[in-house]
Amino acid sequence: MKPVKLSELYVDAGKWSFSFPPRERAEETSHSLVRFGVMRPVLVIETGGGVELVAGCARVAHCRAHGIDEIWARVVDGSDATGLWELLLEDQLAEGAMNIVEVGLYISKRLAETGESLADGAKGFFQRLGLSPKEGAAREPLWVAGLELAHQRRFVEGELPEAGLRLLTEAPRADALTILNVTAGMTLGRNKFIETARWAMEGAWREKLDVAAWLKANDLNDIAEGETFRKAIWRLRFPQLSRWTDEFAADVTSLKLPGNVSISHSKGFEGGKLRLTTSFESVDELRETLEDIAESAEAGDLSPLEKYLG
Partner 1 sequence: MTLPTPPFDRVVVDEEVSSAPFTLNLLGRIPTEMAVHSRVSGDPLPKGRTTLHITRESGSFLKKCPCTPGVLRCGYRVFTLGFQCPFGCTYCFLRFYAPDEPLTLYANLEDGAKEFETEARTWQKPVRVGTGEFTDSLALEPWTGHAGFIANLIRKYPNALMELKTKSALIEPVLAVDPPPNLLVAWSVNPQSRIDSDELLTASLSARLQAAKSAADAGMKVAFHFDPIFIEGDWQKDYGEVVEAIFDHVAPEMVAWISLGTLRFPKRFLDKWGTRLRKNPAYFNEFVLGPDGKLRYFWPMRREAYKFVSDCIKATGGGVVPVYLCMESRSMWGSGLGWRPDEEEVEILLSENC
Using CB under 8 A as the criterion, which residues of the chain lie in contact with partner 1 when the complex forms? 166-167, 170-172, 198, 201-203, 205-208, 237-241, 244, 267-273, 310
The single-letter DSSP state of residue 4 is: E
- For the CB of residue 248, give the shortest distance to partner 1 in the complex, in Å: 12
Instruction: Give the nearer residue to partner 1 in terms of CB position, either 214 or 229.
Output: 214
- For the CB of residue 164, give the shortest distance to partner 1 in the complex, in Å: 9
- For the CB of residue 61, give the shortest distance to partner 1 in the complex, in Å: 41
Mapped onto helix, strand or coil, the DSSP state of residue 235 is helix
What gap in Å lies between CA 193 and CA 214, rounded to an integer?
A: 18
**Angle CA 109–112–118, to nearest 5:** 90
Instruction: Give the nearer residue to partner 1 in terms of CB position, either 87 or 197.
Output: 197
The single-letter DSSP state of residue 157 is: T
- For the CB of residue 220, give the shortest distance to partner 1 in the complex, in Å: 17
- For the CB of residue 170, give the shortest distance to partner 1 in the complex, in Å: 4
Instruction: Give the nearer residue to partner 1 in terms of CB position, either 250 or 309.
Output: 309
**Residues linked to residue 47 through DSSP beta bridges, in sequence order:** 50
- Asked if residue 70 lies in contact with residue 64, where contact means CB atoms within 8 angstroms, the answer is no
Instruction: Give the nearer residue to partner 1 in terms of CB position, either 31 or 307.
Output: 307
Give me the sheet containing 70-75, strands edge to edge: 2-5, 70-75, 42-47, 50-55, 9-11
| Cβ atoms < 10 Å from Cβ of 200 | 27
Q: What are phi and psi of 181, to 5 degrees?
A: -70, -45
Instruction: Give the nearer residue to partner 1 in terms of CB position, either 53 or 171.
Output: 171
Instruction: Give the nearer residue to partner 1 in terms of CB position, either 210 or 288.
Output: 210
- Asked if residue 141 lies in contact with residue 169, where contact means CB atoms within 8 angstroms, the answer is no
- For the CB of residue 82, give the shortest distance to partner 1 in the complex, in Å: 30
